[in-house]
Every structure is written in structure tokens, then in C-alpha cells.
Amino acid sequence: MAHGDGCFVIQKNSESKKKMYDAIVVGGRCGGAALAMLLARKGRRVLIVDQAQLPSDVRLSTHLIWHAGVDRLRQWGLLDTVLASNCPALTDFSLDMGELVLRGRPPGTQVGAALSPRRLALDKVLLDAALQAGAELRQGITFEDVIQQDGRVAGIRGRLQDGGAFTAQAKVVVGADGTHSRVARAVGADTYNEVPKESGSFNIYSYFSGVALSGVEFFSRPERMFYAWSTNDGRSVVGVIQPGQAPRPARQDTEAYFFKELDTMTPGLAQRVKAGQRDDEWLSGAIATFCRQAAGPGWALVGDAGVTMDPVTAAGISSALRDADLLASLIHQGLASPDGLDAALAGYQTQRDEVSVPLLQLSQEMGKLAPPTEDVIKLFMALAGNQPQIDRYYGLFAQTVTPADFFGPANMAEIFAAA
């Protein structure tokens, strides 16, 4: 994989406590690095801490960034660097439902494409940009708890890899530490709209080379969603999503299980995948999905720490970038205003949830992989041949058309009238 030249500033001392940062961001991947970059670009003093050594890949991710996320990368001046990691622009989308295939392109986008850069590439571009903007990075530090002062969060305590203690102080601590966020636990953030992982989707996938694909391909079958798209260096991600409660293969049987399902349900894709070769291990997993309280005195959450969506809609990265954008503006505004940070962060949850909750609910509904209802079947039949509305359907996932707009009575009436 070709990457740009990045500079990683790794400070060796374990005493950041004498410095007062504007923000400490726990977690330096897409949510955290984007937030740190935006704050540092606004002149804020930012420390990123991460327990991992970065850059490194995220194994449980199929990497798809839909249009809203790609547009944001462009707006931040990072699109060319991501493209230079050798991942193709994905412009064409298809959903094969057996008798009906919907092909389209989401409307309302600047770049007009999705991308699927391996996280090694994406997270590095964002982190490099954060460091270039002046953020500091401390790797190999595990966040353990927040430091409280006068009833508000005022810093963090962590553990170095050699077991030593680490502390640092800041006006705000942001948990960008993923779905199992320890920051969220430390501050006691409430959870809502929760669906356990057994009721969501279970994902099985791997990387292949030599597979001929036409953009982003989905295949909806009874209790299954197969998918395939290109990532870096001529490789493709190919996988199947099934209900979390459906029987799943033992690890050593994954290959046989996957190809039996592919052969039976999508023989055309099976043929193309078999013409290539698998060049990574099989990966699989399921996650619980939810929203968490977004902020409190001296703290906030961003990315999966705040909202974890079902991977079936591949919305997590684009959502993390959007929430980082929103949170950076609010923190900057709060630090600059006499009303202070808490007043600025008071509206964060409402603004985040206005966009995120409908997307979360869409992902949770689709993650069940339930048989389509009569109404859903009628909707897809009505969409056939209506290209603008098929494009708008893809806009739901590209995050350029809201679920309220698409499924609202006016749009439904228009679709059925046209049919």
C-alpha cells in the first residue's frame, strides 16, 4: 500500500501533566484523529493518546466511506492523499434482489464517489493531518480513568506500556475510544436506543485479489446480504452478513461455509470471486449498537464511543467524521465564548442525534436481516425504473438523503404515483 510520508511525533517522557491542553482526545483513529486535526487547525492545543501503536490496521472493518464522508475528506483537503493510498473511487452501486436489480448513484454529493481505503491508510492520513496541524500524539498509553476537579472532568490518568503512570490535564476530555469506550464508562455516560449484538448482524468477510467488480455490489437474499467492493491495491472486500442469531460456522469451516452460501445464493458473484484468490484470513464479528450520552461537564464522546451503528449500512466512519466536525466547532466555540464550554456542549447531543439516530435506527432495522414486509416489497417494485428515486434510495446510505425525506409521506406518495 502506498502511503504519503507521515511524521509521527512520539514523545518519550511520561509527564504531560505540567501542560494544560485545551483538549485531550482518547483514541487516534477516524473519530479522534479527525477531531484533533480540526481543533488543532483552529489553533487549539490538543493531545491524542492511544493504547495502540499507530498507524495500524483495524481488522474488523470493511472500510467503506460513503459520499458524505468522502465529501468531508475533500473539504478538509485530504481526499487526494487518501486516493494516493491507491484505493479507487467507487461511483456505481447495485442492489440485486434476485428478480429485481436496482443500479444507481446517490444524488447531492460533491465528489460523487464512495471510497474504501484500508484503515491503515485512512487513519494515517487523518492522524498525519492532526500532527501537521500541531496536535501531539502519545501512543502506547491506556486510558484508565478521568481526573475530576470541582465536579467536572479535568484530565486523564493512564498506564504506559512499561506499567508507569501517566496523567495529563485539559479543559475537555473527549472519548474517541471506540464502541467499548472506557471514557464513557469513567464518566458514567447513559446508553439508549440499544440493540444487543445477537439481534443485529453478523459479518463474515475477507480480502481477495483478481475479482472483477462493477462498483459497490450488494445482493439481498433471504436472511443474507452479500457484498463486494474494491479497496486498496487491486484488492476487494467480499463478505456476507447474516442475522446475529443464525447458525455460524466454526472458524476452520468458514471458507467452505462462505462458498457454499455464495454458490447457492449468488452464483454469478461466486464465479467472479473464485476467478480471483483470497489473500487474507477470514474475519467475522458482531457488535451491540446504541447511542450514548454525548457530553457532560468537561467531557464529550465522538465516533463509535458515542454512537455505534450496525455495520450492515457501513455508516460508522462517515458518521464519526461528521460528529468530529460538529464537536470540533462546539468545543472551539465554547472555549472562545464567555458562556463557556458546557453551554456550547449542551446542544451537542441534540444536534448529533438529529442526524445519527435515524441512521442508527435504519442500520438496526436492516441489521436484523428480516424477510421484507409486503410494504417493503411494494416499495422496491415501485422503485423499479424510477432512476431519480433509486438514486435517492442510495442517498440514504450515502447520507445525502435523510430517512425522514426518503420514507416521508410526500416522497412515498411521489414514488407510488410515478409507479
Ligand X SMILES: Cc1cc2nc3c(=O)[nH]c(=O)nc-3n(C[C@H](O)[C@H](O)[C@H](O)COP(=O)(O)OP(=O)(O)OC[C@H]3O[C@@H](n4cnc5c(N)ncnc54)[C@H](O)[C@@H]3O)c2cc1C
Please report, as ranges, the residues that interact with ligand X according to CB under 6 A.
26-32, 49-52, 58, 60-65, 142-143, 176-178, 182, 203, 285, 287, 303-305, 311, 314-318, 320
Amino acid at 265: M
Measured CA to CA, the distance from residue 94 to residue 390 in angstroms comes to 10
Q: In this complex, which beta carbon is closest to ligand X, that of residue 144 or of residue 255?
A: 144
Residue (244 or 316) nearer to ligand X, CB: 316
Identify which of residues 23 and 315 has a Cβ nearer to ligand X in the complex. Answer: 315
Alpha-carbon span 346 to 343, nearest angstrom: 5
Shortest distance in whole angstroms from residue 371 CB to ligand X: 23
CA distances from 245 to 103, 249, 365 (A): 30, 12, 15
Residue closer to ligand X, measured from CB, 298 or 311: 311
Nearer to ligand X, 85 or 318 (CB): 318
| Residue closer to ligand X (CB basis): 48 or 383 | 48
Buried b (16+ CB within 10 A) or exposed e, 4-38: eeeeeeeeeebebeeeebbbbbbbbbbbbbbbbbb
Q: How far is the CB of 263 from ligand X (least distance, A)?
A: 23
In angstroms, what is the minimal distance from the CB of 407 to ligand X? 22
User: What distances in angstroms separate CA 45 from CA 15, 41, 354, 387, one per listed residue?
Assistant: 16, 10, 29, 48
CA distance 357 to 349: 10
Please tell me whether residue 282 adopts helix, strand or coil conformation: coil
Q: Taking the CB of residue 222, how many other CB atoms lie within 10 A of it?
A: 9
Instruction: State the minimum distance, in angstroms, from the CB of residue 28 to ligand X.
Output: 6
CB 314 within 8 A of CB 335: no
Tell the smallest beta-carbon distance from residue 218 to ligand X (Å): 12
Q: Is 378 exposed, middle or buried (0-12, 13-18, 19+ CB in 10 A)?
A: middle
- Least distance (Å) from ligand X to the CB of residue 127? 10
Write out the DSSP string of 70-133: HHHHHHTT-HHHHHTTT---B--EEEE-SS-EEEE--SS-SS--BB---HHHHHHHHHHHHHHT
Closer to ligand X at the Cβ: 96 or 177?
A: 177
Minimum CB distance to ligand X, residue 374 (Å)? 30
Q: Which is nearer to ligand X, 154 or 379 (CB)?
A: 154
Q: How far is the CB of 406 from ligand X (least distance, A)?
A: 19
Complex with ligand X: residue 182 or 352, whichever CB lies closer? 182
How many CB atoms neighbour CB 212 within 10 A?
11
**Residue closest to 76 by CA, chosen among 122, 44, 119:** 122
Q: Rounded distance, CA 368 to CA 258, Å?
A: 19
Q: How far apart are CA 290 and CA 390, in angstroms?
A: 29
Rounded least distance, CB 97 to ligand X, Å = 21
Nearer to ligand X, 142 or 361 (CB): 142
- With 0-12 / 13-18 / 19 or more C-beta atoms within 10 angstroms meaning exposed / middle / buried, residue 336 is middle
Shortest Cβ 126–ligand X spacing (Å)? 9
The DSSP H or E segment spanning 301 is: strand 299-301
**CA 57 and chain centroid, separation:** 14
